[in-house]
Structure formats: structure tokens, C-alpha cells
Amino acid sequence: MRVTGGSRRGLTVDVSGLPQLRPTKAMVREAMFSVIGTEYIVDALVADLFAGSGILAIEALSRGAKAAWCVDSAPDSCRLIEKNLHKAKFQQQCQVVNLSAARFIQGKSIQSQHFDLVFMDPPYRSPVLNRTIKMIAEQNFLSPSGTLVVEHDHRDVVEVPLPLEIWKQKRYGHSSVTFIIRQPTRS
């Protein structure tokens, strides 16, 4: 699998050895970053939840994100992410966290850490999808101008609680990508 843009464009990222991984396809990654826009990526703080191989964080860092956190509950995935970060020379800009997404969100919220860009690619057809979105809303995990990018099965119904709202949705074969933002505060 290759990085599709930025300073590491063309770099091969390893996804082998973990049959449970379902890495985001290159076409979908390019489309995601096109929708987000460069101005929202440069200097962003990024969280890649259910990170798998770390490809989404690597793509964001390659495009100018300031720092990233790759979060995965599987130790094998965390080792693969560390290997890929080392190959991309992003190990200083990215922390690999071996925790569930829920525990990470709770911990960062306690530290008042807000993220500008959050990627979420949970197992398809799983209740963890909407539970995690709800937790992101409740814990104020997303910065006021942040974007949550959720990859999911096209049959999943994405539930978005206030203060979040769906900005855009795109379908790519059996996958859909839902872009979620915080509602603007009214004065």
C-alpha cells in the first residue's frame, strides 16, 4: 500500500501479516483528503482511532499535520504501526497508543486535548461505530473547527448527536465515508 500524497507520496506502507486488517483503499484516502482540504490538515493535531496500519495518520503527516496519535487495541497492529512510522520517518511526530478508542478518548478529554482531525475506521457492522461517535461528542474531543472522518459499511446508519453534525457523506463500493463537524456556536 502506498502513501497517496504529500512529502511521503509513493512510500510503501506494510499491511501484511494481519489478516484482520481492512486498510482504506488509495482511492478512498485520496478522496477523503481532497474533501478535507489542505488548509485543515497543515499543522493539525490528528487522532487515528482503530488505526490498523497507521496509514491515515501517515497520510495526514505527509500532508503537513503537526502531530498524530495512532490508537489501536491490538498489540500486533501497534507493532505494525511503529514499523510503518519508522519507515516513513514520522516516529517523532506520532505516538502509538495500545488502548481501546473509548479509553483513549476519555484520557485525552481529561487532559483537555482537542483534535483538529479525527479518523475513525472501526470494524464494519459493529455497534462500536455509534458508541464512539457519541463519546467523541460527549467528551468534547473534537476542536471547534475540527473534522471527524468515519469510514463504515454503506449499510450502517450513522447517528450523530449534538453538538456534531454530518457535513458530507460519500460512498465507495461497499464503504461509505461520513464527514462530521461541530455545529458552529451561536452568539
Note the pLDDT tens digit of each residue in 121-142. Answer: 999 999 999 999 999 999 989 9
- Residues 34-89 pLDDT 10s: 999 999 999 999 999 999 999 999 999 999 999 999 999 999 999 999 999 999 99
pLDDT at 186: 44
E-strand stretches of 50-131: 67-71, 94-97, 115-120
The structural domain count of the chain equals 1
Determine, yes or no, domain membership for 165. Answer: yes
Is pLDDT above 50 for 12?
yes
In-domain check, residue 187: no
In a domain, 51, yes or no: yes
**Per-residue pLDDT tens for 28-49?**
999 999 999 999 999 999 999 9
* CATH code, domain with 31: 3.40.50.150
* Full domain range(s) for residue 144: 6-182
Mean pLDDT along residues 155-170: 95
Cα 116 to Cα 41: distance, rounded to the nearest angstrom: 8
pTM above 0.85, yes or no: yes
Angle in degrees, CA 1, 131, 144, rounded to 5? 80
**Does residue 115 sit within a domain?**
yes
| Residue 83 domain flag | yes
**Closest C-alpha to 152, from 41, 28, 33:** 28
- pLDDT surpasses 70 at 110: no
